[in-house]
Structure 1
Amino acid sequence: MSVPPKHLRDLYELFCSVQNKKEAEKLLCDILTPQELASVAERWQLIQELNKGTPQRDIARKLNISISKITRGSRMLQYGGGGFAYFLKKLKKTR
């Protein structure tokens, strides 16, 4: 699916305007379906577990997801655009 660059810039700007958790919740609940929100939340949990070094089979049991999903998440963490690594590091500093 091809998205015009301006549409993406507008979306990024929208996310940059979020100032707190309550605003993030409002925006995400409006912009995503409940299933999409659950999928994104699950992916973030998966990434955090991988980052902690949790074995894939343990993650599969804990989150009730397939090994193939975990492998995809691992590839995103290792070879993706760097967003997950950046925010994992950023959140670690604030906790």
Structure 2
Amino acid sequence: MSEREAARMPSGKGNDHWDESYLTELFEALRSIRDQGEFSRFFDDLCTPAELRSMADRWRVAKLLDQGLSYRVINEKTGVSTATITRVARSLTYGTGGYRMVLQRQQGEQGE
């Protein structure tokens, strides 16, 4: 099983009931969100504060890596562990292109 496939599997008991369609339903729910306020409300209900901080940390690291900052500087600037920085860097280099796609879109919007 690949790392990506493993990431899609829920942890804990009851894995026999996991179905990929649940992930598709979540993605469809996200597509229905209309603005930042709705995103905030949905994610506040969906995630714990720690999960939200972790996702925000990973996004911040992706942006800093894209700017060319070193792992050491990012660690000092953010307090994010080098393990997380390495994981984000690996995704930027070998992942599915999701980080890169959104980074480029945001850069395009800032240039307009």
Q: Give yes or no for TM over 0.5.
A: yes
Opposite residue 23 of structure 2, the aligned amino acid is L
Structure 2 CA distance for aligned equivalents of residues 62 and 17 of structure 1: 35
TM-score of the superposed pair, with normalisation by structure 2: 0.80
Identity across aligned pairs (percent)? 33
Structure 2 CA distance for aligned equivalents of residues 30 and 66 of structure 1: 26
Report the equivalent of 1:10.
25
- CA-based RMSD: 1.1
- Corresponding pairs, count: 95
Q: Structure 2 unaligned runs (5+)?
A: 1-8, 11-17
Q: Which residue, 50, 61, 82 being the options, matches 1:67?
A: 82
Asked if structure 1 preserves the Cα contact closer than 8 Å seen for 2:57 and 2:80, the reply is: no
1:25 aligns with 2:20: no
Asked if structure 1 preserves the Cα contact closer than 8 Å seen for 2:63 and 2:103, the reply is: yes
Structure 1 CA distance for aligned equivalents of residues 106 and 68 of structure 2: 17
Report the equivalent of 2:15.
none
Structure 2 CA distance for aligned equivalents of residues 87 and 55 of structure 1: 21
Q: Structure 1 unaligned runs (5+)?
A: none
Runs of 4+ in 1 over 3 A off after TM superposition: none
Structure 1 CA distance for aligned equivalents of residues 99 and 48 of structure 2: 22
Opposite residue 12 of structure 1, the aligned amino acid is F
Q: Flag the structure with larger Rg.
A: 2
Q: What's the offset of the Cα at 1:66?
A: 2.0
TM-score of the superposed pair, with normalisation by structure 1: 0.93
Aligned to 1:19, the other structure's residue is in SS state coil
Q: Which residue, 34, 47, 59 being the options, matches 1:44?
A: 59
Q: What's the offset of the Cα at 1:52?
A: 0.7
